[in-house]
């Protein structure tokens, strides 16, 4: 049976997981990569080296982010966050992002790497958040 | 260290995994969902109920598909397939897709469900493939 997840179930999955897939528009198509993230303030906090995904998000800030827990092909939960890319540049914003990402990565700055891209320390990375406009979830239990 | 994967390494990951994330353009933004798939003929074969992702792929057939093997935050491999959505309607195409998907799902028609969407038997599903125009891969070993 496939069913919708409640807001609190989506929230729980977003807080529990550490890796999600960020999908950004790329011209007529899309670009999708795994990234480590932290979920707080109804936003996905992430970091990335200056590279393709940052360039794409600057051009097309309306992005989506997907997180799942897959036990097997017929038992899974998946959450979709749709929102807007927001680059963090001021001290308060970057401090908040770094703190959340360090905590999510288990306390190591260097452990917070950047998915499909180059490994980048938080100190060198572009810090951003995706403010959730809509969060929806689906699950199946066989 | 983050490094590029060879074609044969990407191939191996695509053949080994069972679930990937399909990212489709949705107006100014994107829509990303997990789907079960089979990889053959340099294409991702999949199925979906008639619903949002099929409507979006018909409108914006240039899609991307991402598969990963994540051991932990600093040891992972990720493959990105960029290509074109192609709906399979003729007998040869749908037979090929069903055979591949049944094999990938462990032999059960009903086991081949459709990720974020509704559970749909292969008999009722829209069958499609994404012909790979480009396959790239990245990995990190800490």
| pLDDT greater than 70 at residue B119 | no
Residue B78 has pLDDT above 70, yes or no: yes
Q: Do B63 and A1 touch (CB under 8 A)?
A: no
Q: How far is CA A7 from the centre of its chain?
A: 17
Work out the end-to-end distance of chain B between its first and last CA atoms, rounded to an integer number of angstroms.
Answer: 6
B103: Cβ contacts below 8 Å, ≥ 6 apart? B38
Q: What is the distance between the alpha carbons of residues A136 and A3, in angstroms, rounded to a whole number? A: 11
pLDDT value at position B108?
A: 58
The pLDDT of residue B120 is: 60
DSSP state of B27: T
pTM metric for this prediction: 0.91
For B62, nearest residue in chain A (alpha carbons): A29
Tokens at A2, concatenated: 């496939």
The answer to whether residue B23 scores a pLDDT higher than 70 is yes
Per the prediction, chain B carries an average pLDDT of: 90
Extract the tokens encoding A107: 């306390």
Among candidate residues A44, A16, A19, the one with its CA nearest the CA of residue A128: A44
Measured CA to CA, the distance from residue A134 to residue B29 in angstroms comes to: 13
Name every chain B residue with its beta carbon within 8 A of the beta carbon of A30: 23-25, 30, 32, 62-64
State what percent of residues in chain A have pLDDT above 70: 88
- Cα separation of A142 and B53, whole Å? 22
Chain B touched by A1 (CB under 8 Å): yes
Does B64 sit within 8 Å of A32, measured CB to CB? yes
Overall number of domains in chain A: 1
Choice between B5 and B141, residue whose per-residue pLDDT is larger: B5
Q: Which residue of A has its CA nearest to B24?
A: A30
> Which pLDDT score, from 0 to 100, does residue A121 have?
67
Across A83-87, A95-99, B8-12, B101-105, least confident range: B101-105
- What does the pLDDT read at residue B121? 66
Domain that holds residue A108: 2-140
- Of A22-36, B102-116, B120-134, highest mean pLDDT: A22-36
Given a cut of 90, whether residue B117 has pLDDT beyond it is: no
CATH of the domain at A38: 2.30.110.10
Residue A85 has pLDDT above 70, yes or no: yes
Query: Mean pLDDT over all residues of chain A?
Result: 90
Residue B52 has pLDDT above 80, yes or no: yes
ipTM: 0.89
The lowest-confidence range among A2-11, A100-109, B5-14, B101-110 is B101-110
Distance CA A116, CA A75 (A): 26
pLDDT at A118 over 80: no
Q: How confident is the model at residue B92 (pLDDT cuts 50, 70, 90)?
A: very high
pLDDT per position as a tens digit, A3-54? 999 999 999 999 999 999 999 999 999 999 999 999 999 999 999 999 999 9
Which pLDDT band, with edges at 50, 70 and 90, does A116 fall under?
very low
- Residue numbers in B near A33 (CB within 8 A): 66, 78, 80
């Amino acid at each position: 049976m496939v069913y919708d997840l409640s807001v609190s179930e989506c929230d729980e999955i977003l807080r529990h997981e550490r890796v999600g897939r960020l999908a950004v528009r790329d011209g007529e198509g899309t670009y999708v990569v795994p990234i480590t993230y932290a979920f707080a303030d109804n936003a996905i906090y992430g970091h990335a080296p200056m590279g393709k995904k940052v360039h794409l998000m600057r051009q097309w800030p309306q992005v989506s982010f997907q997180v799942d827990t897959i036990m097997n092909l017929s038992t899974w939960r998946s959450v979709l966050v749709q929102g807007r890319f927001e680059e963090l540049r001021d001290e308060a914003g970057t401090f908040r992002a770094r703190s959340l990402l360090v905590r999510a990565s288990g306390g190591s700055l260097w452990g917070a790497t950047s998915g499909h891209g180059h490994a980048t320390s938080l100190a060198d990375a572009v810090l951003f958040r995706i403010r959730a406009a809509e969060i929806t979830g689906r699950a199946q239990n066989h």
